[in-house]
Amino acid sequence: MNEIDRRHQEAIEKAEASVSQVREEVAKDPRRMKYHLMAPAYWINDPCGLVQFQGEYHIFYQFNPYSPLWGDIHWGHAKSRDLVHWEHLPIAIAPSEPYDTHPKGGIFTGCAMADDDKIKVIYCGSTWAGENLRQVQCLATSQDGIRFHKYEHNPVIPGFPPEGSENFRDPNIWKHGDTYYMVLGSCKDNRGKALLYTSKDMVDWEYKSVLAESDGSLGTMWECPDFFPLDGKYVLIFSPMGLGKVKGLYLVGDFDYESGTFHWQTKGELDYGFEYYAPQTFEDNSHRRVMFGWLNSWDWMPWFTSFGPTVEQNWCGSISLPRVLHLDEENRLICEPAEETAALRGERFHWESAVLLPGSRFIRDRVSGECLEIEIKWDILNSSAKQAGVYLRMGEEEKIRTVVQYDLGTQELSVDRSQADNCSKGISRCTCLPEADGTLTLRIFADTSCIELFANGGKSCMTNLIYPDPTCDGIEIFCRGGSAKLLSLDIWKLNPIG
């Protein structure tokens, strides 16, 4: 074992020992997610290094093995055969070298590729020298998909180009022909941008161009860029800083490999909720483009109040359900839950067409639960109600609840969590047009501490964290200001993955 591997293994063993001290106690917390991926304990943020290798899906994530708050970032690691049931693996990459070791830095976001019968990862090593931030790009490889070896001549990209700045991170790679391409997040003069590099061997990288950049209205820094082909176009997704409530954007257009320039025509938001950040995608062996995101917020976001009560139980954060991406006929991004999520379904409750009246108790005494999948289809065209929706996680007095609501007049879809618990605040909103036939379909995944909402087959998504008491498990369908025609309603109780 060489000195780099020895230092790395020692750092991993130290981190694993820290996690093992609290892991069993953390697992007892009733607010732990039942079917979303979490770290075994402590802090988790960005998913990174998504890859399918030797028939199994691998997901890496930023991980602090010493605290339920951000800092001292490592790469946690899990694998799955179905994108839903996950097996935790040893920590993959730990800070151990001068270019990636710092309490306020570490192994930042990166990517993975199955290449030459190995998993090869490129990650951002982040350190500070006094007040000076230093972010560099580094290579590590694994033959078995578990033990990773840092390249002895890291970093492979030691500094930013003139078009960038010291904020120079979150590499994402793909291969086209015999050339590797890398897109990186950066900024200059308070304008976010994505920078493009090329390489023949993933070791020697050459700066090529500014792939795309803000015109002043798309954020001051672009974090976690991901660039990929989809349905005959190219898509750039990123998490912009300095853009108010906007946490994730996508751009759709055409890419010129010769000039390294992306010409986009379509723009949209990835998720309209409060907690869906730093998404990353990969193409699986079925040629699907699959995306995962981090379910939490940063303290610099305008609605942030705290990281929630789970910090007191020595854990914080989780990873979203897998979403499969497509483009519609207008080149808008569609994000649907992967079909594998159906493996979570248990007992099913089904209702056919019905007309709801204000104040009616439609299902309150028939079904309840913390972990549910709900699919409801409304006939908006033939409803007279002003609002219709679903109450989730209701308490006995029904004052505690999360409200998913559609306003038929303004065509606004919202999730109100201000009565969900004693800490969550805010109402997330987006415009959501009915389908051409006048219908609206909502698909809702409720876990112990989060709600993922998909409208009209994934045309609009909204993800929010909530922290109600486990006894608050009621559900009801409602309408106000008139009747609402319900075409169908399905509710499944979802099974835990642990």
With respect to CATH, is domain 345-494 assigned 2.60.120.560? yes
Give CA–CA dist 452/95, Å, rounded: 33
Non-local (6+) Cβ contacts of 228 within 8 A are 174, 234, 235, 281, 283, 289
pLDDT at residue 364 tops 90: no
pLDDT at residue 168 tops 80: yes
Provide the pLDDT confidence category of residue 369 given band limits of 50, 70 and 90: very high
Lowest mean pLDDT among 25-34, 298-307, 359-368, 475-484: 359-368
pLDDT score at 361: 85
Residue 145 has a CB neighbour count (10 Å cut-off) of: 19
Burial class (CB in 10 A: 0-12, 13-18, 19+), 236: buried
pLDDT at residue 397 tops 90: no
Catalytic annotation present for 189: no
pLDDT score at 365: 79
What average pLDDT does the segment 152-179 reach? Answer: 98
Maximum pairwise Cα distance, the chain: 73
> Do you find a cis peptide bond into 155, omega within 30 degrees of 0?
yes
pLDDT at residue 484 tops 80: yes
Provide the pLDDT confidence category of residue 313 given band limits of 50, 70 and 90: very high
Per residue in 55-82, pLDDT (tens digit) is 999 999 999 999 999 999 999 999 999 9
Provide the pLDDT confidence category of residue 291 given band limits of 50, 70 and 90: very high
More confident position, 316 or 361: 316
What average pLDDT does the segment 162-166 reach? Answer: 97
What average pLDDT does the segment 131-144 reach? Answer: 97
Backbone angles phi, psi at 466, to 5 degrees: -140, 160
Mean pLDDT of the chain: 97
What average pLDDT does the segment 372-383 reach? Answer: 98
Provide the pLDDT confidence category of residue 362 given band limits of 50, 70 and 90: confident
Provide the pLDDT confidence category of residue 498 given band limits of 50, 70 and 90: confident
Per residue in 417-468, pLDDT (tens digit) is 999 998 999 999 999 999 999 999 999 999 999 999 999 999 999 999 999 9
pLDDT score at 285: 95
Annotated catalytic residue, options 5, 29, 46, 116:
46
What average pLDDT does the segment 307-321 reach? Answer: 97
Return the domain boundaries, the chain. Answer: 3-337, 345-494
* Contact of 290 with 338, CB cutoff 8 Å: yes
* Contact of 459 with 332, CB cutoff 8 Å: yes
Question: Which homologous superfamily does the CATH classification assign to the domain defined by 3-337?
Answer: Glycosyl hydrolase domain; family 43 (2.115.10.20)
Dihedral (CA of 419, 421, 425, 429) sign? negative
pLDDT at residue 328 tops 80: yes
CA nearest to 430, candidates 453, 457, 402, 400? 453
3-state secondary structure the chain: CCHHHHHHHHHHHHHHHHHHHHHHHHCCCCCCCCCCECCCCEEEEEEEEEEEECCEEEEEEEEECCCCCCCCEEEEEEEECCCCCEEECCCCECCCCCCCCCCCCEEEEEEEEEECCEEEEEEEEEEEECCEEEEEEEEEEECCCCCCEECCCCCCECCCCCCCCCCCEEEEEEEECCEEEEEEEEEECCEEEEEEEEECCCCCEEEEEEEEECCCCCCCEEEEEEEEEECCEEEEEEEEECCCCCCCEEEEEEEECCCCEEEEEEEEECCCCCCCEEEEEEECCCCCEEEEEECCCCCCCCCCCCCCHHHHHCEECCECCCEEEEECCCCCEEEEECHHHHHHEEEEEEECCEEECCCCCCCCCCCCCCCEEEEEEEECCCCCCCEEEEEEEECCCCCCCEEEEEECCCCEEEEECCCCCCCCCCEEEEECCCCCCCEEEEEEEEECCEEEEEECCCCEEEEEECCCCCCCCEEEEEEECCCEEEEEEEEEEECCCC
Per residue in 195-234, pLDDT (tens digit) is 999 999 999 999 999 999 999 999 999 999 999 999 999 9
- In DSSP terms, 80 is beta-bridged to 57, 86
pLDDT score at 116: 85
Q: How far is CA 287 from CA 52, 168, 229, 281, 325, in A?
A: 11, 30, 11, 12, 11
Give CA–CA dist 405/387, Å, rounded: 7
Give CA–CA dist 392/400, Å, rounded: 9
